[in-house]
Chains A and B, each alone.
Chain A
Amino acid sequence: MNLLNDPWPWYVAGPIIGLFVPALLIVGNRLFGVSSSLRHVCAATVPRGVEFFRYEWWRIGAWNITFLAGIFIGGWVAAQAFPGAGHVVVSDAARATFAGYGVTEVTGLIPAQLLSWETLATWRGALMLIGGGFLVGFGASWAGGCTSGHAIAGLADRQLPSLIATLGFFAGGLVSAWIVLPWFVGV
């Protein structure tokens, strides 16, 4: 296996991702989490007098915003320098499910037949892109964390709130994957 030329198997990717938790604590006692950066970006750009966005975002959140910027750059670096990036091969079962959705081209990282600038003009594409994104932001803020902060860092620290949030993430995801999405694509 070559880390540049092949996708990483789960038993390589998982431990690497897990190491980000102690790494951020060692650098600056920062708790691994991405969604707080959304709050910091709001606080930095359009606080509009909302109490939730009135705090020293630079002192508290600059680390998180630069971390987010790094993730963006990391995606770019992988696309440019890692030949193995972006060629997802899913299971046959998943491929059959996607075919049922009308997704016949399972290429790249996302299905262009559902998520693209063209589909944004359709109610289905708009609901997935705008509605989905909105719920991710609203839900993560309400829950006080997303997959990184709750499902990885919080669970690793055996925090009950994170377990509740993670079960909620999963329940919502199941409803979307089994009911909402099939309904959207007319199955």
Chain B
Amino acid sequence: MNETKRFTLPFRAALVVYLAIGVLFGIALTMSEALSWYRIQEMFRFQSMHMYGIIGSAVATAALGLAVLKRAGLRSLEGSEISVPPKVLGRGTRYWAGGILFGLGWGLVGACPGPLAALVGFGHTIILVPFVAALSGTWLYGRLRSSLPH
């Protein structure tokens, strides 16, 4: 094989990159106001198109990016081939049941996991409470997983 030596990003160096990407994402969540309880309520009450515009154009941009990447057949900087595994549908129970529970919580506390972290960073220490509650919800799911339908 005529394998040219390719650059591979070491694991720990990659973590620094993920941290930096996370910082940018936290800034994007804050400046887009997608982390705001007000914006989430406004969305669910159909009182502004702000959030619909964000999610719609984000999906369109991501879809375009995915299409380009799939066609290019590249390797990632860490070395693995770029591929998006399909999610397993099964009976689909987990998606609608878990989805509805998530939505109920989202509509109350007005933030999903990423925004919760950004809000705490922004200085809203009270959001530590729902953040820890989300961790305990995750833990309880793990504990009950075998007895829940999926």
Contact = CB atoms under 8 A, between A and B. Distances in A.
Contact of B62 (A53, A120, A156, A159): A156
Interface string B16-51: 111111111111111111111111111111011111
Contact size range, A: 35 or more
Contacts of B1: none
Interface string B108-144: 1111111011111111111101111111111111110
Interface in A146-179: 146-148, 150-162, 164-178
Given A27-B21, A159-B86, A165-B99, A18 B14 contact: no
Given A63-B18, A70-B21, A75 B120 contact: yes
Given A28-B14, A28-B76, A175 B21 contact: no
B136 A71 contact: no
Contacts of B123: 75-76, 79
Contacts of A140: 98, 102, 112-113, 134, 138
Interface residues of B, number: 123
B56 to A, nearest CB: 7
Contacts of B25: 17, 20, 67, 70-71, 74
A71 B84 contact: no
Given A14-B56, A14-B61, A169-B103, A136 B98 contact: no
B41 A177 contact: yes
